[in-house]
Amino acid sequence: MRILFVVPYAPSLVRVRPYQLLGALARRGHDITLAALRTSGDDTNGLSSLQARGINVVASDLPRWRAVANCLRAVREDLPMQALYCWAPALAGMIGQLARASAFDVIHVEHLRAALYGTLALRVRASLGRAAGPAVVWDSVDCISHLFAQAAVRSRGLKGRLMARLELARTRRYEGAAVALFDHTLVTSAVDREVLLSLAGQRQPKPITVLTNGVDLSYFTPAPDAERTPDTLVFSGKMSYHANVAAVLYLAEQVMPRVWHRRPNVQLTVVGQDPPREIRALSSTHAALRVTGRVEDIRPYLGQAAVAVAPMRYGAGIQNKVLEAMACATPVLATPHAMAGIAAEAGRDLLLADGPAEFADAILQLLDDPACRRQLGEAGRAYVEAHHSWDVAGARLEQVYARAIASLTQTGP
């Protein structure tokens, strides 16, 4: 297939879903053009890596002033800021030119932040009067309005709660319309799929498919038990994400004091880029808590930890932090909110706990039981090997593309 793959940022080992899906599609022999935005904080090494795999890359910069102007425009036009934030006329021009000049079979558009580029592709298709393509597939990844509905109540920051409440109604309208507009929609969990279907209301939604995330099983590999440090916990995740901030503050303020009261030597490391001020401050107020900020390689932290913790209070989509820790055979303790899109069996592949006292007790029980930790680690690795291969995800994505193309052939423009 000839595929135009549009993303509102530079794919990388942090922006893992598009990076790995592109790699899987390239291995399957497809002709791929990647259209991406670059921002000042992006790691662009992924773009070079994808080019080395034979993917044609076109990219445009998104200056900070443009993103701010886009947010102001969103308020005026009653559109979600998420939908307009990454609009760049230069990239739109490139996509329009590519769509007109090249006979793509599929245009794949990732995330709500790139949805406007998808509607541009639909307009180009209509203007050309093509009877059968290209199919436009929108990878929603997460249902953003589902995330906002939770953040409006559970976000720890006043700014986060107010922003979620401001954006919620128009994001619901936009996402409900989008699933009826694009030829096929993807999400990472069944929960997100059900919410999107409910948002469609009286509209006729096109097919919505759950395409779960994978794990690079050759990159995230188990570390020998001898390398693990006793009495160590790790939380990993991008720390500019408000749900991760809420989880870490909950862990530091409500869970760990109970752990430290009974076991003062337990160390907690929070690993992830762009921690806000309230997270960075934890290092100075808790001697046994370390905040690393961005690291070049997360694997040593997962490999050295006795337990990986994921006390999510809310969220949407799938938690890569859980899959990556399991792939490293690091035993995982999580809350039920961390399990969307993950079919692992609690008590066998990982442990679940909820509430500060229950979560603290589970940490202490795991730290006291090396045999249980080893068993959970081995079972977790076996689970991701069986259910979260990127090559399997790539094959399923290929099937989605074929289905979307066939639907256009049958119905016409």
Closest residue by Cα to residue 367 from 339, 328, 333, 327? 333
- Which pLDDT score, from 0 to 100, does residue 157 have? 76
Could you tell me the domains of the chain?
2-214+390-411 (3.40.50.2000), 225-387 (3.40.50.2000)
Q: Tell me the one-letter amino acid at 316.
A: A
Place 35 in a pLDDT band, splitting at 50, 70 and 90: very high
- Which pLDDT score, from 0 to 100, does residue 317 have? 87
Q: What is the pTM of this model?
A: 0.90
Place 76 in a pLDDT band, splitting at 50, 70 and 90: confident
Q: What would the pLDDT profile of 395-407 be if each residue is shown by its tens digit?
A: 999 999 999 999 8
* 351, 333 Cβ separation under 8 angstroms: yes
Mean pLDDT of 260-280: 95
pLDDT reading at 131 higher than 70:
no
Q: Write b or e for each residue in 181-191: b if 16 or more Cβ atoms lie within 10 A of its Cβ, otherwise e.
A: bbbbbbbbbeb
Q: What would the pLDDT profile of 53-68 be if each residue is shown by its tens digit?
A: 999 999 999 999 999 9
pLDDT reading at 351 higher than 80:
yes
- Which pLDDT score, from 0 to 100, does residue 75 have? 84
pLDDT reading at 224 higher than 90:
no
**Please, what is the average pLDDT of the chain?**
92
- Which pLDDT score, from 0 to 100, does residue 244 have? 95
pLDDT reading at 225 higher than 90:
no
How many residues comprise the chain? 413
- Which pLDDT score, from 0 to 100, does residue 133 have? 72
pLDDT reading at 132 higher than 80:
no
- Which pLDDT score, from 0 to 100, does residue 313 have? 93
Q: What would the pLDDT profile of 177-218 be if each residue is shown by its tens digit?
A: 999 999 999 999 999 999 999 999 878 889 999 999 999 999
Q: What's the CA gap between 193 and 232, in Å, rounded?
A: 36
204: three-class secondary structure by DSSP: coil
Cβ-in-10-Å burial (0-12, 13-18, 19+) of 227 comes to exposed
- Which pLDDT score, from 0 to 100, does residue 395 have? 95
Mean pLDDT of 129-154: 88
- Give the DSSP letter string of 276-326: -HHHHTHHHH-TTEEEEES-S-SHHHHHH-SEEEE--SS--S--HHHHHHH
Structure tokens at 61: 């910069």
Place 284 in a pLDDT band, splitting at 50, 70 and 90: confident
Place 267 in a pLDDT band, splitting at 50, 70 and 90: very high
pLDDT reading at 413 higher than 60:
no
3-state helix, strand, coil in the chain (%, to 5): 50, 15, 30
pLDDT reading at 410 higher than 80:
no
- Which pLDDT score, from 0 to 100, does residue 130 have? 64
Place 347 in a pLDDT band, splitting at 50, 70 and 90: very high
Share of the chain above pLDDT 70, in %: 98
- Which pLDDT score, from 0 to 100, does residue 19 have? 96
* 363, 259 Cβ separation under 8 angstroms: yes
pLDDT reading at 412 higher than 70:
no
